[in-house]
Each structure stands twice: as structure tokens, then as C-alpha cells.
Amino acid sequence: MSYTNSQLVEVRDFSAEHKGVFAKARIGKDELIGFFDGKAVMVDLDSKDELDVFWWRQSVHLKREGSKLLCLLPQWEPDGVDFLNHSCRPTARVEDKLYVYANRDIEAGEEITVDYRSFNLVPEGITCWCPEGRCLI
């Protein structure tokens, strides 16, 4: 379970299968929103048996050495910052692969997003769904 400042943010459903993180109150620039946590594991990227949809969507990439990836896997049900969505113009940033800070002042009701490309070491290879440039994440 990751830490999320629940006084500042909440998770909302977009649909039955998709969630996002939204500001409940105004969040000041550079304010800590939360941080990722989990069990550190070494994954062999060449082994398809070790990779599944849940792993790709919920892991935090710490260090890559060749085909091995050290990452954090959640040990509990995802919550809070685990549901951050990608944007090419993110409202938040991830520092040191763990800590989520506001990039700018974020108003109540705004979705909190991060640029996955800034901290994922293994690209997902899917087309970005944000309305910006249709990048690959």
C-alpha cells in the first residue's frame, strides 16, 4: 500500500475498470501528494511468465540491469497514488522513483497525473491516451 495524503486527494472511478486520482482541496506547488511502497523484487524481462497486466500497471521501476528489473510490487490492494494516470502535461511529478509532488498549484477537482515516461524504465509500448501528442508510453 502506498501512502497518499487523503486530506488532499481521492480516487474516483472513470468506469468500472478505470480509476483516477483527483484533488479534494487545493494543492500547492511542490507539495507532497504521496509515495509508492511495495515489495522489492527482481524480475526477468525475458520471461513472459513473470509479466502480466497487473504487474505492468502497478509496479514501480527502480533499476534496470540488462534483462533484469528491480521493482516494487504492491503487497496490498492498490489505493491512492497507485491510480495516477499518465499525461504528457502532468500536474504532478515523481521524484527518486517514489515520491509524488505537485508540479504546480492544483485546484480542487482537477485530476492529478504524472508522465509515466519520466520514471518507468521499461516502456509499456502503448499509445498515450491523453489528448496531447499521442506519444508512446
Confidence of residue 1 (pLDDT cuts 50, 70, 90): low
Mean pLDDT of 48-75: 77
Is pLDDT at 82 greater than 80 in this prediction? yes
**Which CATH number does the domain housing residue 16 bear?**
2.170.270.10
Residue type present at position 86: H
The conformation of residue 53, written as its DSSP 8-state character, comes to H
C-beta separation of 50 from 56 below 8 A: no
Within a domain: 131: no
Check whether 49 has a pLDDT greater than 80: no
Distance CA 25, CA 46 (A): 43
Relative to beta strand 92-95, strand 85-86 is unpaired
18 grid coordinates: 478505470
pTM: 0.85
Domain count, the chain: 1
For the beta carbon of residue 62, count every other beta carbon within 10 angstroms.
19
Domain carrying residue 41? 3-118
Distance CA(132)–CA(99), nearest Å, equals 25
pLDDT band at 26 (very low <50, low <70, confident <90, very high): very high
CA atoms within 13 Å, Cβ hemisphere of 130: 19
Place 6 in a pLDDT band, splitting at 50, 70 and 90: very high
pLDDT in tens, 111-128: 999 998 888 877 777 787
The yes-or-no verdict on residue 83 having pLDDT over 80 is yes
The answer as to whether 55 is a domain residue is yes
**Does some domain include residue 59?**
yes
